C-alpha cells in the first residue's frame, strides 16, 4: 500500500471504537449504501470490471494497511487468518451489503491497539533507557511485513518507543540550535535569560516519557469516538480504490464537507494536509496563503505541535485525528497560530523548528493567474530579452458573469505583457493540478488557430473531442510551458496539446503527473434505500472517462514528456500516477486530423527538431558551468539521502552528532540560497487589475530561489535570440574595383 492516502483514509490511523464495543453491525441503510457502491463501480467505472476481477485478498491487505499503515499493530497471524476466513467470500458479501468482515477486522485492530498501549505504559514505567546500544529503528515499514505475535512484536515496539523518546529528548538537551544567532539584542542579558535552559539527561528522559505516554493516552481517547459509519467509509473506499486510485466512497458527512475532502484541508494558513502513521504532513502550499507567503514551510514538513497566539503552550498533535488538528490550526482571521515543525529536509527526526503564522482567508484573487516581466540577458551578452511569465495555479471559471475565468485572465495578462515589450512567454503550470476542462480548451486556443485539443473516451468506448472554435490567437511568439510532476489532469492536456501542435517547448521534470482520468460524483438516491434512509446518504466518486491528446496518446500514467529536462526537487516531492496502487494503464486511440496549415506556420513561431537541439545544447552548457545548478544538484542529493535514510540510530551520541550536522548543513544551504537570490533577474509585476496593487500578497523573506523558473526564462531568451534574423552583412568601406 503506497504512502499517501486520501484525507478520509489517512485520518483513521488513531481512531477506534469504544473500549467495551463488540463487533459493529451494519444497519439497513449501510447495507444499501454498500450495494450502491458495488453497482456504481461495476456499471460506471471506466475499466468495465466486476468484483470477481478484483483480488479480494489484496483488498483485505489494503484495508488492514489503511488502519495500520506501518505494520505495527496487526500481526502476521492476523493477516493469514483474515485472508483465509474472508478472502474468498468477500465479493459475495459485498454484493449483499454485508460489512461483517470489515467490522471483524476493525475489532481485531481495536484489541491489538489496546493490548499494545498497555504494553507501552508498562515499558515506559519499567524499561531501562540508556540509548548507548548500537541499535536502529526502521521508520518506513510499509514494505516490511507484519511481525509475528509475541517476542518479535515486542522487540519491534521496544525500538519504536526508544525512537519516539529520542526524538523528544534530543531537543530538550539542546533547545537552541547550534550556530543560531543569539536571541539577545541591546539588552542581551535579559533576552538571553528567557531562552530555555538545556535539561539534564534524566530530566529530559522524564519529560519525554510524559510526552510519549500522553500521546498514547490520546490514542485511547480516540478509540472511544469511532462509529460504524467511519469504519464503513474506510473499508468501502479501500474497495473502490481496488478499481483505481481516484475512486472513493463518500459518506453523508464527507459529501457535506466536500471542500475538506477535495483539498484535504484549506485550514486558515493555506496548507493542504494529510496524515500517515499518526503524523500530520504538509502536502501542498496554496498559492497566496499565509503558509506560502511566509516562506518558512515546505512540502513534506511534518506538524508535530500547534499553539495558539504568541505565547500559548504547544499541544503535541502526533497521533491526534487530522480533523482535530485542522480545528486547532483554523481560527479567526488575523489571529496567530504557531506550529512546531519537523522539517521534511532534515535527516534527523529530532530536529524541530517553530513557525508563527497569522491566519487569513485564502482570497480567490490569490489563486488567479498572475504575471511578471523579466529582463533576461541574451546569450551573446549584447542585450536583455523581455520575457513574460504567467503563473496559473488552476483552471477556474464559472457560469456567472461576475466570476473570473482563467482563459480571459491569461489573455488579459498577455495583452499587458505585450504592451511592455514581451518577446517570449512562459506559462508556468508546475503547481497546476487541473480544474475545468472547458477552460483548459479555451486557454489552449489562445496559442493555436481552431482545432481539436483533447479527446475523451467513455466507459462505453465512445470518443468525443473538445475543440478550440476560435481562429484567433492571443500570442503567436515563442512559448515555453513549465511543468513538473505536480502538473496534472487539465494542465497536462494544455501542455500535451501545445506540444502536439509544435507551438510550445515543454520544460521541467521528465514527465508530468500522468492523471489522464475523469471522475464523476454520484449521490445516492433516497428511493434506493429503506424508509430509514436519510435525505443525504453519501455518494460514490467513480472514474468514468479517460483523456487523450489530438495525436491519440493518453496522458494517463506516462503524462507529458518534457522536451527539455531540468533537474528539480519536485521530482522527489511529488508521486506520479504510476506510483499509485491500481492506476489505470496507458493506451491510445486513433489520432485526429490536426496541425497547422502552411500559412498558419508562417504567422506563428513553431518548434522544430533543430531548435530543440540548439536549446538543449545551450541549457546543458549552463547546467555544467553555473553554481546554481551545483547547488540544486546538492539539494536534490541531500533530499534523496534523507528519503532513503529510513534506518535511524538509537544511540544518543550518534543522534546528537547527526542533529548538529543536519542543522549546520541546513544553515550552509540557506546561506548559499540567499546568495543565489541576490542574482535574480530584474522584473516587474503585471497585475490583472491595477487597483489590487496594495492588497496583493507578497512572499516572505525566506522564500527559496526558483532555479527551474530561472532556467525556463533563459531557455525562452535563447529561443528569441535564435529566432532573430541574422544581421545584414556590413559593406566594406573604400573604393570600388
Q: How high is the pLDDT of residue 195?
A: 55
Same domain, 685 and 658: yes
346 and 431: one domain?
A: no
Report the alpha-carbon distance of residue 172 to residue 184 in Å, rounded.
20
- Residue 613 domain boundaries: 369-723
Question: Residue 337 has what DSSP assignment?
Answer: E
pLDDT digits (tens, 9 = 90+) for 397-447: 876 666 789 999 999 999 999 999 999 999 999 999 998 999 999 999 999
- The predicted-structure confidence for 106-140, as pLDDT tens digits, reads as follows 999 999 999 999 999 999 999 999 999 999 999 99
- Beta bridge partners, 385, equal 376
Report pLDDT for 705: 86
pLDDT at 535: 54
> Does residue 496 surpass a pLDDT of 60?
yes
Predicted pLDDT at 652: 96
Task: Assess whether 218 and 265 both reside in one domain.
Answer: no
Please give the residue that has the higher pLDDT: either 687 or 344: 687
Query: In this predicted structure, what is the pLDDT of residue 20?
Result: 40
pLDDT higher than threshold 80 for residue 99: yes
What's residue 13's pLDDT? 33
- Torsion sign over Cα 206, 211, 215, 221: positive
Q: What is the mean pLDDT of the segment spanning 173-180?
A: 59
Mean pLDDT of the chain: 86
Higher-confidence residue of 692 and 242: namely 242
Q: Name the more confident of 151 and 320.
A: 151
**Rounded CA separation 613/564 (Å):** 9
Which string of b and e fits 697-734 if b means at least 16 CB within 10 Å? beeeeeebbbbbbbbbbbbbbbbbbeeeeeeeeeeeee
Instruction: Assess if residue 527 is contained within a domain.
Output: yes
pLDDT of residue 527: 54
Query: Does residue 219 have a pLDDT over 70?
Result: yes
Question: Which position has the higher pLDDT, 530 or 139?
Answer: 139
Of 524-533, 558-567, 638-647, give the lowest mean pLDDT range: 524-533
pTM for this entry = 0.82
Decide if 734 is inside a domain. no
Q: Tell whether 612 and 668 lie within a shared domain.
A: yes
Please report whether residue 386 resides in a domain. Answer: yes
Going along 218-278, which residue ranges are E strands? 248-250, 271-276
Name the helix (H) or strand (E) containing 680. Answer: none
Average pLDDT over residues 561-584: 91
- CATH number assigned to the domain comprising residue 505: 3.90.226.10
Q: Give mean pLDDT, residues 576-584.
A: 94
Number of domains in the chain: 3
For the ranges 372-386, 672-686, 718-732, the lowest mean pLDDT is seen at 718-732
- H helices, E strands: number in the chain: 23, 20
Residue 178 predicted with pLDDT over 50: no
Q: Is there a single domain that holds both residue 469 and residue 499?
A: yes
Whether 536 and 660 share a structural domain: yes
The answer as to whether 192 is a domain residue is no
Residue with the bigger pLDDT between 2 and 658: it is 658
What gap in Å lies between CA 589 and CA 609, rounded to an integer? 25
Q: What is residue 730's predicted lDDT score, i.e. its pLDDT?
A: 53
For the stretch 664-705, pLDDT in tens is 988 898 899 889 988 899 999 999 876 444 444 444 433 468
What value does the mean pLDDT take over residues 488-509? Answer: 97
| Burial class of residue 246, CB neighbours in 10 A (0-12, 13-18, 19+) | buried
- Domain harbouring 315, CATH code: 2.30.42.10
Q: Is 530 exposed, middle or buried (0-12, 13-18, 19+ CB in 10 A)?
A: exposed
- One domain for residues 74 and 132: yes
Phi, psi of 177 (to 5 degrees): -65, 135
DSSP secondary structure, 436-468, as one string: -HHHHHHHHTTTSSSEEEEEEEETTS-EEEEEE
- Is residue 96 included in any domain, yes or no? yes
Give me the helix-helix angle, 100-126 and 151-173, nearest 10°: 60
Of 191, 216, 243, the last residue of a domain is 243
- 193 assigned to some structural domain: no
52-62 residue pLDDT tens: 999 999 999 99
Q: What is the 3-state secondary structure (H, E, C) of 352-375?
A: CEEEEEECCCCCHHHHCCEEEEEE
Is residue 736 assigned to a domain? no
Identify whether residues 557 and 596 lie together within a single domain: yes
The pLDDT value recorded for residue 274 is: 79
Which residues neighbour 547 within 8 Å (Cβ) at sequence distance 6 or greater?
454, 455, 456, 489, 492, 493, 516, 517, 518, 554, 555, 556
| pLDDT category of residue 235 using cuts at 50, 70 and 90 | very high
Do 349 and 454 lie in one domain? The reply is no
- Distance in angstroms (rounded) separating the CA atoms of residues 220 and 319: 10
Please indicate, yes or no, whether residues 339 and 446 belong to a single structural domain of this protein: no
Q: Is the pLDDT of residue 11 over 70?
A: no
H or E stretch at 542: strand 539-548
What's the pLDDT at 383? 92
Same domain, 475 and 612: yes
Domain-embedded: residue 532: yes
Whether residues 352 and 378 share a domain: the answer is no
Amino acid at each position: 500500500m503506497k504512502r499517501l492516502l486520501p484525507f478520509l483514509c489517512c485520518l483513521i490511523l488513531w481512531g477506534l471504537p469504544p473500549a467495551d464495543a463488540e463487533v459493529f453491525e451494519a444497519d439497513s441503510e449501510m447495507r444499501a449504501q454498500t450495494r450502491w457502491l458495488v453497482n456504481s463501480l461495476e456499471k460506471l467505472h471506466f475499466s468495465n470490471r466486476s468484483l470477481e476481477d478484483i483480488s479480494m485478498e489484496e483488498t483485505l491487505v489494503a484495508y488492514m494497511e489503511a488502519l495500520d499503515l506501518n505494520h505495527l499493530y496487526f500481526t502476521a497471524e492476523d493477516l493469514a487468518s483474515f485472508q483465509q476466513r474472508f478472502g474468498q467470500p468477500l465479493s459475495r458479501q459485498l454484493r449483499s451489503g454485508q460489512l461483517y468482515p470489515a467490522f471483524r477486522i476493525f475489532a481485531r485492530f481495536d484489541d491489538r491497539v489496546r493490548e499494545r498501549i498497555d504494553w507501552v505504559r508498562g515499558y515506559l514505567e519499567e524499561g531501562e533507557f540508556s540509548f548507548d546500544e548500537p541499535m536502529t529503528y526502521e521508520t518506513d515499514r510499509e514494505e516490511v511485513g507484519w511481525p509475528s505475535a509475541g517476542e518479535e512484536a515486542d522487540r519491534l515496539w521496544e525500538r519504536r518507543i526508544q525512537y519516539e523518546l529520542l526524538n523528544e529528548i534530543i531537543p530538550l538537551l539542546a533547545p537552541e540550535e547550534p550556530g543560531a544567532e543569539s536571541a539577545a539584542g541591546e539588552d542581551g542579558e535579559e533576552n538571553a535569560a528567557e531562552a530555555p535552559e538545556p535539561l539534564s539527561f534524566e530530566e529530559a528522559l522524564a519529560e519525554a516519557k510524559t510526552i510519549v505516554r500522553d500521546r498514547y493516552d490520546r490514542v485511547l481517547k480516540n478509540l472511544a469516538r469511532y462509529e460504524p459509519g467511519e469504519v464503513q467509509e474506510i473499508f468501502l473506499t479501500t474497495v473502490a480504490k481496488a478499481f483505481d486510485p481516484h475512486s472513493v466512497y463518500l459518506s453523508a458527512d464527507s459529501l457535506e464537507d466536500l471542500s475538506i475532502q477535495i483539498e484535504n484541508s484549506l485550514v486558515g494558513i493555506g496548507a493542504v494536509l494529510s496524515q500517515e502513521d499518526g503524523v500530520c504532513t504538509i502536502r501542498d502550499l496554496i498559492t497566496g496563503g499565509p503558509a506560502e507567503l511566509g516562506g518558512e514551510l515546505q512540502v513534506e514538513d511534518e506538524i508535530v505541535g500547534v499553539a495558539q497566539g504568541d505565547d500559548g503552550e504547544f499541544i503535541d498533535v502526533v497521533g491526534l485525528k487530522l480533523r482535530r488538528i485542522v480545528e486547532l490550526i483554523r481560527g479567526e482571521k488575523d489571529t496567530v497560530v504557531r506550529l512546531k515543525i519537523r522539517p521534511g529536509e532534515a535527516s534527523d527526526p529530532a530536529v524541530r523548528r517553530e513557525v508563527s503564522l497569522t491566519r487569513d482567508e485564502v482570497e480567490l484573487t490569490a489563486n488567479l493567474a498572475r504575471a511578471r516581466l523579466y529582463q533576461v540577458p541574451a546569450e551573446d551578452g549584447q542585450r536583455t530579452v523581455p520575457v513574460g511569465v504567467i503563473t496559473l495555479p488552476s483552471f477556474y471559471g464559472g457560469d456567472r458573469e461576475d466570476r473570473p475565468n482563467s482563459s480571459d485572465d491569461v489573455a488579459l495578462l498577455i495583452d499587458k505583457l505585450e504592451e511592455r515589450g514581451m518577446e517570449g512567454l512562459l506559462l508556468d503550470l508546475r503547481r497546476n493540478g487541473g480544474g475545468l476542462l472547458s477552460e483548459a480548451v479555451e486557454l489552449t486556443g489562445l496559442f493555436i488557430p481552431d482545432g481539436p485539443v483533447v479527446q475523451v473516451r467513455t466507459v462505453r468506448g465512445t470518443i468525443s473531442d473538445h475543440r478550440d472554435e476560435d481562429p484567433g490567437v492571443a500570442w503567436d511568439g515563442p512559448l515555453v510551458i513549465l511543468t513538473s510532476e505536480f502538473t496534472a489532469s487539465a494542465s497536462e492536456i494544455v501542455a500535451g496539446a501545445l506540444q502536439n501542435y509544435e507551438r510550445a517547448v515543454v520544460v521541467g521534470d521528465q514527465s508530468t503527473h500522468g492523471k489522464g482520468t475523469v471522475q464523476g460524483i454520484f449521490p445516492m438516491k433516497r428511493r434506493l434505500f429503506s424508509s430509514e434512509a436519510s435525505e443525504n446518504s453519501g455518494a460514490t466518486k467513480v472514474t468514468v472517462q479517460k483523456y487523450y491528446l489530438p495525436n491519440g496518446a493518453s496522458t494517463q500514467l506516462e503524462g507529458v514528456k518534457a522536451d527539455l529536462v531540468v533537474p528539480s526537487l519536485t521530482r522527489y516531492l511529488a508521486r506520479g500516477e504510476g506510483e499509485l496502487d491500481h492506476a489505470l494503464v496507458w493506451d491510445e486511440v486513433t489520432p485526429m486530423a490536426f496541425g497547422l496549415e502552411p500559412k498558419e506556420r508562417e504567422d506563428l513561431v513553431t518548434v522544430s527538431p533543430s531548435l530543440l537541439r540548439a536549446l538543449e545544447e545551450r541549457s546543458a552548457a549552463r547546467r555544467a558551468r553555473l553554481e546554481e545548478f551545483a547547488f540544486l544538484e546538492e539539494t536534490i542529493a541531500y533530499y534523496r539521502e534523507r528519503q532513503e535514510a529510513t534506518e535511524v540510530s538509537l544511540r544518543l551520541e550518534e543522534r546528537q552528532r547527526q542533529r548538529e550536522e543536519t542543522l549546520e548543513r541546513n544553515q550552509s544551504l540557506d546561506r548559499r540560497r540567499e546568495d543565489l537570490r541576490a542574482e535574480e533577474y530584474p522584473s516587474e509585476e503585471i497585475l490583472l487589475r491595477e487597483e489590487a496593487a496594495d492588497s496583493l500578497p507578497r512572499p516572505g523573506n525566506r522564500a527559496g530561489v526558483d532555479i527551474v523558473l530561472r532556467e525556463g526564462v533563459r531557455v525562452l531568451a535563447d529561443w528569441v535570440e535564435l529566432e532573430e534574423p541574422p544581421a545584414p552583412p556590413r559593406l566594406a568601406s573604400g573604393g570600388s574595383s
